[in-house]
Each structure stands twice: as C-alpha cells, then as structure tokens.
Amino acid sequence: MTSSSLGKGANVIVAAPEVRAAFSWAQAPDGPEVRVWAVLLGADGRALGDGGAVGGPRPADPSGRIRLSGARTVDADLAGLPPEVERILLCATVEDGRLGQLRGLELLLTDGRTGVPLAHFPVDAGRETAVVGGELYRRAGQWKFRAVGQGWDTGWAGLTADHGAVEPSGAVEPSDEQSPATTAPATAPPATAPPPPPHLPPLQETPRTPAAEQALPVDIRKRLSLRKQQVAVSLEKHGAAGVRARVVLVLDASGSMSGLYRRGTVAGVVERMAAVAAQLAEDGRMHAWTFATHPARLPDLHLAELPEWIPTHVRVGELTLFGRPRKPRRGLLPGQVDMRTVGIQNEEQKVIAEVRAHVRAHPVADPTLVLFFSDGGVYRNAAIEQELRAAVEEPVFWQFVGLGQADYGVLERFDTLPGRRVDNVGFFAVDDIDLISDPELYDRLLTEFPSWLAAARRAGILR
C-alpha cells in the first residue's frame, strides 16, 4: 500500500494489521502544550466506558491494543482489537492557546511493523482547542482511515459532548492475556490482516473509436490522451485495470458556485472528467446533469463534441450568488437549459433521485460511476441519506467531490454510517481543484470504486 495525501473527508483502506498515527507540528517558543489522545467508539458512536479514552495518565486501553508510544503518537493493533471497538478517533488538544498557533499541523499514518507511510493529512486548524485529526474505522470487514479535521473551540469538553468520552483520571493496566509485552514478541508470527480487495481481472478490451478523438483540436486531443493514460494507471494501481463503466457527471449550479463557473473551474472539471468517461465507457460518452433547487438533464457529452459542449452547456455568467438573470436568454440552442428554471438552492436529493431513476429505466451490463461536484451548503441531510441508502442495492457508485472546505453535511460522514450491505459512496474535498494534478485527482476519484466493484459482485448487485 502506498502513501496517500488526503483531503478532508477522504478515506483509504488500511490493510496493515498494526498502524502508528503520529501528529507532527513545528513547535514555536511560545506555542501551546499539546496532548494527543485516542478515543474508542462503539457502534452507537459513543465512547466505550471509562477505558474509551487513551491519553494523559492512561497510556493504553484495557485490551492493551491501543496505546500511546510517545508524546505525539498512538499505536493501534487493529487485528487484535475487541469487536466492540468500531472506530478510533485520533485527537489533539491544547489547554492554553489554540491549535492554530501550531505551524504545519499534520497527521501521518504508517504501517506499525514496517514504517511504510499509509496516509498523510494536513490538519487545518485556527481558533480550535481540540481537533479530531482522523479516524480508523471498520467497514465491511476491513479497517479504513478517514481524514476528519473536525475541531472545537471548547477543548476536550466540546469533543466529549459529541462522543461521551471522559478524560482519564488514572492508568488502566492491560490484562495479562492482552498486554503489549505479550501481544507482539519478536518471534511471534505476523497477525493476519484483513484481506485486501480481490484483484479484479481485466475485462475483454474493446477497440476504441479513435475517429472521435481525431476530430478534436490538437491541444485538447493531447490533454485527453495523457489523461486517459493517467486514469488507466490509477485503475491498475487499485486492481481494476480494464474495467468498463457508464459515467455520469453531476454539476452543482447553486448560486454559491458562480465564482467557480466564472473562473473556468467548472469547465476544467468537465474536460478532466471527459477523460474518465473516455477510458471507462464503452463509447466514451458521459451522461450529465446540473442541479440547484431543481435538477436538469444536460445532453450527453460525446468526445468529438467536447469543444462545443463546454461553452454551450457550462455557461459562464448565467449564475449569480443573488439569483438568476431576470430575462431569459434569447435563442436557447437545442439541449440548453434555461438556468432560471434550475433555481439557486442546494437540493442534492432531487438530482440523486433523478439519476437513480435514469439508471433503472436504462439498464446496461456495466456498472455506473457518478462523479458529483458541489461546493457544499448541504442541508437536506435526511433526504440525501434516504436516497443513498436506497441506492445501496443498485449498480451505482457515487463519488462526491467537494470544491472547497464548506459544509458537506451527511456526505462527509456517510462512509461511517452503519446498516449498508456495501459501501456505495465516496467523498473528498479539495481547497482548489485547479491546483490538484491530474494523477492525484484521478487517484482520489478512483480509489474506492474498485473496492465497491468487488463488494457489489460478492453481494450479487453486479454480475
């Protein structure tokens, strides 16, 4: 497993049976004193009794599997943890000062046996005095790590109000059977790690239709060719070389997105996602929707139409933070959407429902990958959760991408919600997607899709 630099809300599979989580920062002479903690949660999201918090005078949990190994590090024997431990929050707190005084605060997860980096998360902190940097959690028989970055300006008390943990008042000695000294002797055989997702065999390669790409302007054709190769590399890296999928693009058109449309960010996203469809889809076609208060179906994007499709359907200047243009645009072209009818609010659940209905009405042999871009402002949490839970049994994987560090509501925590047969939702957020390289963007987009493919096939959702 290679190291991943994660954005807030992103997650990776952890196949290592033992891991080390280390906070790091540049200590200033007048900087605050930092404490590192681990909080063990059960299936209900609450701390597991008096031994649920590790830190301060309590260097280990009662099982001895979670322990502080230094002032800034937490060691976790994931393979040996009791089954009641569902999540492990990795936290940092200060008493005098604020976390924003620490320069370069970050959380690094490494393999506890080999020291190989597994994940890296730069933690953005300001006036907060407590933060959950990341969490380890169980999902479908495997451990995963999620970059959280949730903070409180009320310190440990604020954190515990949400999770029911109590500050340790004294050390708890591990039991004789599960003490750190007896769990990993030098001659002990390696613990069995949760199995990684099975490698998906390449499907039969189908010839492309290069004529569509040959019709593109030279600069676009060169970018598309390179990006297709980068998508293929990301798929192969995650064990899904040669897979096929129907690709659906969903673009937020709420009022707060106006700046991203005006600066060309959304147009850039469309061109980069066209490469995903060109690599995955049988005919290179990408289905598309836009949404705000109401969803609207856009014409399918065919590769040969890319130069015309973007200015025709990603229309700069027709979105404003304070509403739509009062006068309708004269002479709408075929397939164009009158953006006044879309509205300005965030109603993600409506477009999710419409995409689901389209997939049911137009079944295909391949799975569907939905690439959903939004700048946040999510508030219909219950309705969104209801739609995505209902979609668990459908051959669709929903990859949400946050454009900025806004409020993404249930989308940020969906990966940890129990009661789903397979994990059908991925999420990550980026501060500025224009600054993310193509290889990194495609890695983030496709890191969970292969795992879902394997799980959906085992569950009989896919053939």
Q: What is the CATH number of the domain that holds 217?
A: 3.40.50.410
For 364-385, what is the mean pLDDT?
93
Predicted local distance difference test score (pLDDT) of residue 385: 94
Q: Are residues 33 and 142 in the same domain?
A: yes
Does residue 315 sit within a domain? Answer: yes
Q: What is the pLDDT of residues 11-26, one digit of tens each?
A: 888 999 999 999 999 8
Q: Are residues 404 and 313 in the same domain?
A: yes
Q: Are residues 176 and 214 in the same domain?
A: no
Q: What is the pLDDT of residues 288-320, one digit of tens each?
A: 999 999 999 999 999 988 988 998 898 776 665
Q: Are residues 119 and 172 in the same domain?
A: yes
DSSP one-letter string for 352-420:
HHHHHHHHHHS--SS-EEEEEEE------HHHHHHHHHHGGGSSEEEEEEEESS---THHHHGGG-S--
Q: Is the pLDDT of residue 188 over 80?
A: no
Q: What is the pLDDT of residues 112-148, one digit of tens each?
A: 999 999 999 999 888 899 999 999 998 878 899 988 8
Q: Are residues 133 and 57 in the same domain?
A: yes
Q: Are residues 172 and 233 in the same domain?
A: no
Does residue 198 sit within a domain? Answer: no
Q: Is the pLDDT of residue 263 over 80?
A: yes
Predicted local distance difference test score (pLDDT) of residue 6: 82
Of 11-15, 159-163, 283-287, 341-345, least confident by mean pLDDT is 159-163
Predicted local distance difference test score (pLDDT) of residue 207: 37
Does residue 105 sit within a domain? Answer: yes
Q: What is the pLDDT of residues 197-239, one digit of tens each?
A: 333 333 333 334 456 777 788 888 889 999 999 999 999 988 8
What predicted TM-score, i.e. pTM, was given to this entire model?
Answer: 0.66
Does residue 205 sit within a domain? Answer: no
Q: Are residues 154 and 250 in the same domain?
A: no
Of 190-204, 332-346, 414-428, 438-452, least confident by mean pLDDT is 190-204
Q: Are residues 241 and 119 in the same domain?
A: no
Q: Which of 132, 167, 183 is the last residue of a domain?
A: 183
Q: Are residues 93 and 240 in the same domain?
A: no
Does residue 191 sit within a domain? Answer: no
Predicted local distance difference test score (pLDDT) of residue 3: 56
Q: Are residues 96 and 142 in the same domain?
A: yes
Q: What is the pLDDT of the chain when averaged over all its residues?
A: 83
Does residue 189 sit within a domain? Answer: no
Q: Classify residue 113 as exposed, middle or buried by CB count within 10 Å of its CB (0-12, 13-18, 19+).
A: middle
Within 8 A by CB and 6+ apart from 307, the residues are 216, 217, 220
**Total domain count for the chain?**
2
Within 8 A by CB and 6+ apart from 66, the residues are 38, 40, 54, 60, 74, 75, 76, 77, 81, 85, 88
Q: Which domain holds residue 69?
A: 4-183
Q: Are residues 149 and 224 in the same domain?
A: no
Buried b (16+ CB within 10 A) or exposed e, 337-373: bebeebbbebbbbbbbbbbbeebeeeeeebbbbbbbb
Q: Is the pLDDT of residue 324 over 80?
A: no
Does residue 201 sit within a domain? Answer: no
Q: What is the CATH number of the domain that holds 56?
A: 2.60.60.30
Quickly tell me which residue has 């890191």 as its tokens: 447
Q: Are residues 150 and 20 in the same domain?
A: yes
Does residue 188 sit within a domain? Answer: no
DSSP assignment letter at 201 = P
Quickly tell me which residue has 């659940």 as its tokens: 349
Q: Is the pLDDT of residue 38 over 90?
A: yes
Q: Is the pLDDT of residue 193 over 70?
A: no
For 65-94, what is the mean pLDDT?
93
Q: Is the pLDDT of residue 37 over 60?
A: yes
